[in-house]
Structure 1
Amino acid sequence: MIAVVVFVIAYVLIATEWTHKLLAALGGAALLLALGVTDSEHAFYSHDTGIDWDVIFLLLGMMIIVGVLRRTGIFEYIAIWAAKRAKGSPLRVMILLTLITAVASAFLDNVTTVLLIAPVTLLVCDRLGINPVPFLIAEVFASNIGGAATLIGDPPNIIIASRSGLTFNDFLIHMTPLVVIELVVFTLVLPRLFRGSFTVEADKVENVLRLNEREAIQDTRLLIKCGVVLLAVFTGFVGHAVFHVAPSVVALLGAGVLVLTSGVSTKDYMSSVEWQTLLFFAGLFIMVGALVKTGVIGDLARQVGNATDGRPLLAVMLILVVSAVLSGIVDNIPYVATMSPVVLELTKSVTDPSHAHALWWALAAGADFGGNATAVGASANVVVIGIALRAGHPISFWEFTRKGVVITAITIVVAAPYLWLRYFVLA
């Protein structure tokens, strides 16, 4: 009861933002440790009931790599290149920037991607003399959709992979095809979703066409080093099952090599490390671990299993829809951290491996796509809204939500038949 009460209070504080989410997570974890509900052995050393250090260090390594990569100017180059290739057409600019955001989010993580793409979007929209808000919102949607494609693209995927034992290749094989389909549908929906946002004056178009993307590259030698290291890191991600090296170790090795060879100051690359996010994860893992340790998660899994009457397809669809709804109401990171042990228990009662996998993919799709529903559904949403506010282009909760609910509904409607066909009809 203590574990449940502390977790629910912390969850409400995180969802309502009555206090900073880091304070809620660490405060809840500290309270559980102080009351003896869990202890240091379970909190710090147990894979099942404690902090998942693989997740923490994978994020840390990638944050450092991106911190070095940021110094090259490659992201600004790509955005300006896309705007020029679009010939200044606002609709084509939006499509290109969203596709770039989606692809980059699959390999860098969506929060990092929007942090780098959003300021450039503001620059391009300023030159075109158009409202950047629809473009920023569209990029957030694309980042949450694209981030679902890989293990490292969205933090919920990292948690799912850690709990399920699924590999980087598993996400590529199972989630990437779904994401490609979703992006095609998303691109077709954009003109109607943001109707009236694509009017631009001819002289403004000329301003964009005069931008020189080559001037954005600040350090060519560093860019080459980053390219080599990133290629090696992604090779390690793809082949980690063959090399027997965990993705977290691969990311840390890549970060170490870049730090040693780049010459970038400690202040420059460490400023990209989101310590609050890492500590938030740590507190969250401890609270969820206490629920596992006390048997709450096992009981919840049995209740879900009874509700679906042992029917895997019903369980998959229920997880997909519920995950989408709840991830829109609260941040999808704490939701997945809570739900993944439940899904793990459910998979133990499923005999068909393809059906068991479908439960995990339903959780990933529902949480990742559901994060688009509201302004607080995913970390990337909060980041972009903050950037827009500082730039003098505030995005209201309801302005975001009106569009987000539509995109979430469309992506879930597309995901449902994909899961049914691939894992129940064609398996």
Structure 2
Amino acid sequence: MNDWHGWAAVVVFVGTYALIISEKIHRVAAAMGGAGLMLAIGATDDVSAFYSQDSGIDWNVIFLLLGMMMIVGVLKKTGMFEYLAIWSAKKARAKPFRVMVMLIVITALASALLDNVTTVLLVAPVTLLMCERLALPAAPFLIAEVMAANIGGTATLVGDPPNIIIASRAGLTFNDFLVHLAPLAAVLVLVLIGLCRVMFRSTFVYDEDRAAEIMALNEREAIRDPRLLVQGLVVLALVVAGFVLHPILHYEPSIVALLGAGVLIAVSTVETNEVLGEVEWPTLAFFAGLFVMIGGLIDTGVIDHVSTALSNVIGDDEQGGAQMMLGASAVLSGVVDNIPYVATMAPITADIVHDMGGTGTHVLWWALALGADLGGNATAIGASANVVVLGIAERNRQPITFWQFTKYGLIVTTATVAVSSLYLCALYGLLT
């Protein structure tokens, strides 16, 4: 980082981050402005920004979001989300805390099979409608479920994109993640439920009149277009199957989502313009700007410098190294998107594991995965799912501010990382 471009890139990134935090200007404007400055100072260029697999815009993420937003847009027209909202509220007896617990558990389980972004795209509309029916503020429920998505995503290889990178570099299998991280993810979901009971206690106001109205509703009456619903659910099931069968089919999730969206629009009577109108374009623009800014940090060697410094500090200290990897990854992933961070740290971690004579299931790999996945809950832009939910909330006139999310995110991240630290100590004997 001797080149002035590196320091300039840091200044641009920190300045943009400060603007996003302050909310003086819209986060999309801040991200796009920061991306423009990264290009203007030469921290990155058009080739790196648009075509580089390592430091450019992650088009797989952009088009995965686009495809799933289009599918969700079609499903919204069927009344499916109203049906699910009424059904869920009735199952929870219209009691707010029971509703939140149900959403947390469903979201966490779904995120273990799908990626966390796809999960929140499907669950958020149900949440908004449920809160509307119960006259409850949507923000606490949306925040709880996006955190559940990030926690649930730690359980499996396909739950969070960083896990895929780690599995590829370390030679880990789907079952390795299930054995080592799924039990912890289940515990962390319980921790999240306990924290939500305390953090959002003022939200859980039971309204008997509203509850009686909900219990009297017939959820089947909410379905407006049964034929379109069947078409949408068949396509959605095929898309989910494509995600799960990725190791066999070798189709990227973005390709599967776009194919599903294309097929659904082709076989249904929904107008293309209507579907495109449901897409969260500001969210996609924000991601593009964020990717370009992070690419500037990668191209100028800033992220590599930080990662190398961390590896030098760890050295061959296995016991302290795992704890340091967990903590540092959680902090950095709360600020920098965890995908490029893990992509940079994976080869460094592989070298450390090799030098220690470790195996593919070395504790450092699990520390890296846990820190990167759980650290995403720390801030409003720490994980892709967070940004998506903030966009959905804003579009539905239920805005969630940066600090509103982050003040709860820091609590949840601190607690879950602490439990993960104890888990690593107990499971791998790091206290001895």
Structure 1 residue aligned with 2:241: 235
Partner of 2:11: 8
Q: CA deviation at 1:303?
A: 0.8
Structure 1 residue aligned with 2:420: 415
Q: Secondary structure at the match of 2:315?
A: coil
Distance 2:176 2:243 in 1: 11
- CA contact under 8 A between 1:111 and 1:379: conserved in structure 2? no
- Hey, what does 1:119 align to over in structure 2? 128
Deviation, 1:374, is 5.4
**Does the alignment pair 1:52 with 2:58?**
yes
Whole-angstrom distance in 2 between the partners of 1:295 and 1:418 = 33
Question: 2:370: which partner in 1?
Answer: 365
Deviation at 1:252, TM superposition (A): 1.7
Over the matched positions of the two proteins, sequence identity in percent amounts to 43
Q: 1:379 aligns with which of 387, 408, 420?
A: 387
Structure 1 residues 269 and 419, CA gap change in structure 2 (3 angstroms): farther
1:310 is aligned to 316
Structure 1's unaligned 5+ residue stretches are: none
Q: What is the SS of the residue equivalent to 2:56?
A: coil
CA–CA distance in structure 1, aligned partners of residues 281 and 26 of structure 2: 14
Asked if the contact 1:159–1:336 (Cα under 8 Å) also holds between the matched residues in 2, the reply is: yes
**What displacement does 1:209 show?**
0.7
Could you tell me which residue of structure 1 aligns to residue 91 of structure 2? 85
User: 2:208 and 2:242 mapped to 1: Cα distance?
Assistant: 47
Match of 2:81 in 1: 75
Amino acid at match of 2:36: A
Partner of 2:89, secondary structure, is: helix
Residue aligned with 1:38, SS: coil
- Could you tell me whether the CA contact under 8 Å between 2:94 and 2:134 is conserved in 1? no
The answer as to whether partners of 1:144 and 1:368 remain within 8 angstroms in 2 is yes
**What's the secondary structure of 1:72's corresponding residue?**
coil
Matched with 1:294 is 300
Tell me: CA distance 1:12–1:144, structure 2 relative to 1, closer, same or farther (3 Å).
farther
Deviation for aligned residue 1:95: 1.9
Q: Taking structure 1 as the reference length, what is the TM-score of the superposition? A: 0.79
1:141-160 alignment runs, 5 A limit: 141-149=147-155, 157-158=160-161
SS in structure 1 of the partner of residue 360 of structure 2: helix
d(CA) in 2 for partners of 1:243 and 1:141?
30
Residues 233-273 of structure 1, C-alpha deviations (whole Å, 9 max, x = no match): 22222222222322222222112111211222122221232
Take 1:216 and 1:225, find their aligned partners in 2: how far apart are those partners? 17
Counterpart-to-counterpart distance in 2, 1:82 and 1:313: 45
- In 2, are the aligned partners of 1:144 and 1:369 still within 8 Å (CA)? yes
Give the direction of change, closer, same or farther, for the CA distance of 1:245–1:360 in structure 2 (3 Å limit). same
Cα deviation, residue 386, structure 1: 4.2
> What are the equivalent positions in structure 2 for 1:249-328 lying under 5 Å apart?
249-325=255-331
Q: Which runs of 5+ in 2 are unaligned?
A: none
Partners of 2:296 and 2:409 in 1: CA distance: 33
**Structure 1 position 327, deviation (Å):** 5.2
Matches within 5 A, 1:144-223: 144-149=150-155, 157-158=160-161, 161=164, 165=168, 169=174, 173=178, 176-195=182-201, 198-223=204-229
In 1: Cα distance, 2:303 partner to 2:32 partner: 20
Deviation of the 1:63 alpha carbon: 1.9
User: 2:285 is paired with a residue of what secondary structure?
Assistant: helix
Query: What is the alpha-carbon distance in structure 2 between the residues aligned to residue 310 and residue 168 of structure 1?
Result: 25
**Alignment RMSD, CA only?**
3.7
**Contact 1:144–1:371 at 8 Å: present in 2 too?**
yes
CA 1:279–1:312: 2 relative to 1, 3 Å: farther
Which one-letter code corresponds to 1:340 in the other structure?
Answer: V
